[in-house]
Structure 1
Amino acid sequence: MAHSVCPAERAWMLDNPLRSLLIRPNRLLRSHVRPGMTVLDVGCGPGFFTGVMAGLVGPEGTVIAADLQPEMLDLTKEKMIRKGLIDRVILHKTASETLHLNESGFVDFAIGFHMVHEVPSPRTLFAEVFDCLKPGGIFLVSEPKGHVKTEEFSQEMMEAQAAGFLIMREQHSLFEHQVLLKKP
């Protein structure tokens, strides 16, 4: 599996109108994210999902936008300021080996979109997200088929299950592997 991170110079590829049409982030998230929730955007990049989630959690909710690259966090911050949503977003700098989230059981929902293949240890990532989630919390994971073969995705799911997750729903489309994981 590849372990290189999409550089901030390519942020435009991660946050553009065409990608919004293909992925439809509001449709993807609206059944999982509700007002007042605390949600985690793992590997938020330039905030493609962060803004949608900030709208869905409402003024009483919180989005933790977590990324390794300060430049991506800067782009997310600028976007959230422009949208008037910065007051419900916490920008969080991770390390390459850890999310550095020191609290347990405080997140209702997390998303890791096209990023698990970029981390050095998926096992560590799944364990840390599992720890952050409340019981019954959901982790939506999606990986691009162009970077992650079916066998590699299966290995990632074994790591997720080893961390304690239950697989609720798994689907594969022409372009991606996607799974809903639940903390019992």
Structure 2
Amino acid sequence: MAGIVDALANMAVTGLGALLGWNITLRAQNHLQPSPFPWQFADLLEHPWRVQALDPGQTLDLYGLAAGMNVLDLGCGSGLFTRTAAHMVGESGYVHAVDLQAAMLARAKRSLEEAGVLDRVALHHCGAYDLPLEDDEMDLAILVSTFGEIPDKLAALNELRRVLKPGARLGVTDELYHPAFTLPGTVRRLAEEAGFRLLAKANLAIGYHQVYINAK
């Protein structure tokens, strides 16, 4: 019995070490060349621990999402926050989900179909610099663990200002264990340089939330 326990312990340590090594490697790569979270690890985005820690409904409430809004989910990944947003905007609202990775969008589409809200969502395979949206169209844009993945962050923020209505909100969340984690002070500096004004912020055990106003 002791041998089995020792073997399991060794497996756990080895697995933890491999995960830590993977995270460190991705952090180094993102520092040199920011890139999206690999679609091959999409299951981690839906892990129950992460869902509980971030609580998509509470996060979107903090951002100010309400029924009838037009919402942009930039870097939607597996669709975790897209699904919740689609439920919350109701039949009178709409969500635009954007991701650079076709495999992520395919997974998001499946999850939206299963949740019965695909009719409220448009999926866009594109980046952050040239969004397929009209000027002053969005009521809210959300970036959940996406900001650090964008190489030219100021260009992306300027594009977000273009598509957001005057007075619309931008919600930014980041997680400490995310390979592209960005310090909150860096986000605020760049957001304010682009013309956004900080409205609210909250610290989490695993990261932080920030909410901005598009001060046009």
2:148 to 117, 134, 148: 117
Task: Give the structure 1 partner of residue 159 of structure 2.
Answer: 128
Structure 1 residue 36 corresponds to structure 2 residue 58:
no
Structure 2 stretches of 5 or more lacking a match? 1-29
Task: Give the structure 2 partner of residue 72 of structure 1.
Answer: 104
1:9-158 to 2 correspondence within 5 Å? Answer: 9-30=40-61, 32-95=64-127, 98-146=129-177, 147=179, 148=181, 150=183, 153-158=184-189
The percent identity for this pair of structures is 29
Structure 1 stretches of 5 or more lacking a match? none
The two structures have a TM-score, normalised by structure 1, of 0.91
Paired residue secondary structure (1:134): strand
> Residues 17-44 of structure 1: CA distance to partner in whole angstroms, max 9, x if unpaired?
2221111111221351212110010100
Flag the structure with larger Rg.
2
Separation in structure 1 between the aligned mates of residue 37 and residue 182 of structure 2, nearest angstrom = 18
**Letter of the 1:86 counterpart:** L
Separation in structure 2 between the aligned mates of residue 83 and residue 173 of structure 1, nearest angstrom = 28
**Letter of the 1:77 counterpart:** K
Contact residue 147 and residue 182 of structure 2 kept, 8 A? no
Contact residue 29 and residue 53 of structure 1 kept, 8 A? yes
**Letter of the 2:142 counterpart:** I
- The structural deviation recorded for 1:155 is 2.4
CA 1:93/1:74 → structure 2, altered by over 3 Å: closer, same or farther?
same
RMSD of aligned alpha carbons:
1.6
Separation in structure 2 between the aligned mates of residue 149 and residue 73 of structure 1, nearest angstrom = 24
Name the count of aligned residue pairs: 181
Point out the more displaced range, 104-113 or 156-165. Answer: 156-165
Separation in structure 1 between the aligned mates of residue 203 and residue 55 of structure 2, nearest angstrom = 16
CA 1:110/1:149 → structure 2, altered by over 3 Å: closer, same or farther?
closer
The two structures have a TM-score, normalised by structure 2, of 0.78
CA 1:28/1:34 → structure 2, altered by over 3 Å: closer, same or farther?
same
